[in-house]
């Protein structure tokens, strides 16, 4: 359990730093005292045994594009450097206009016939994911991302 907390905290700090130089920066033109212009969603997936490569392939070939189709902005994707997490973990960050927009996007994504076909095909030999952690994040008042 402590291992996940360390990975999540380290990853969140790392992503916050590099996200400024990503496509997110264009949406961050708000003044210092305005409300955050986006909400970020940090997800950590643990792949089922032997399914890490299949999970990465599904994201690379399908999931990222379908996320964008439903208004979810891909900010970044990471694989931990150290084993055993490097063998079964995918960490990624999405940006949404708001928490309500995130909920609507996820609903549309899950109902999308293209996604349903991709999910069914990619899991023909068993589920790809054995664990999921999701955290919604707001930029701190001193963050360059406000």
Say if 25 falls within a structural domain: no
Say if 109 falls within a structural domain: yes
Q: What average pLDDT does the structure give for the chain?
A: 83
Residue 130: domain span: 2-20+36-137
Residue 87 to residues 52, 76, 83, 99, Cα–Cα distance (Å): 7, 19, 6, 31
Say if 31 falls within a structural domain: no
Say if 26 falls within a structural domain: no
| Strand order across the beta sheet in which 89-96 lies | 73-78, 89-96, 39-47, 129-137
Q: Judge if pTM exceeds 0.85.
A: no
- CATH value at residue 69: 3.30.70.100
For residue 120, the SS3 value is helix
Query: Over 70: is that where the pLDDT of 7 sits?
Result: no
Say if 97 falls within a structural domain: yes
Say if 114 falls within a structural domain: yes
Domain count, the chain: 1
Say if 47 falls within a structural domain: yes
Say if 145 falls within a structural domain: no
* pLDDT tens digits along 37-93: 799 999 999 999 999 999 999 999 999 999 999 999 999 999 999 999 999 999 999
Mean pLDDT calculated for residue range 119-130? 95
């Amino acid at each position: 359990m402590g291992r996940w907390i360390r990975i999540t905290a380290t990853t969140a700090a790392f992503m916050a730093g590099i996200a400024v130089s990503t496509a997110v920066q264009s949406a961050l033109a708000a003044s210092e005292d305005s409300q955050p212009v986006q909400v970020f969603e940090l997800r950590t997936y643990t792949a089922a045994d032997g399914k890490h490569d299949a999970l990465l392939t599904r994201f690379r070939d399908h999931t990222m594009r379908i996320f964008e189709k439903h208004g979810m902005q891909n900010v970044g994707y990471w694989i931990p450097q150290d084993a055993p997490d490097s063998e079964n973990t995918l960490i990624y960050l999405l940006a949404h206009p708001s928490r309500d927009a995130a909920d609507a996007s996820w609903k549309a994504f899950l109902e999308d016939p293209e996604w349903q076909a991709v999910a069914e095909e990619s899991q023909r030999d068993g589920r790809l994911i054995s664990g999921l952690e999701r955290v919604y994040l707001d930029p701190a008042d001193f963050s360059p991302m406000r």
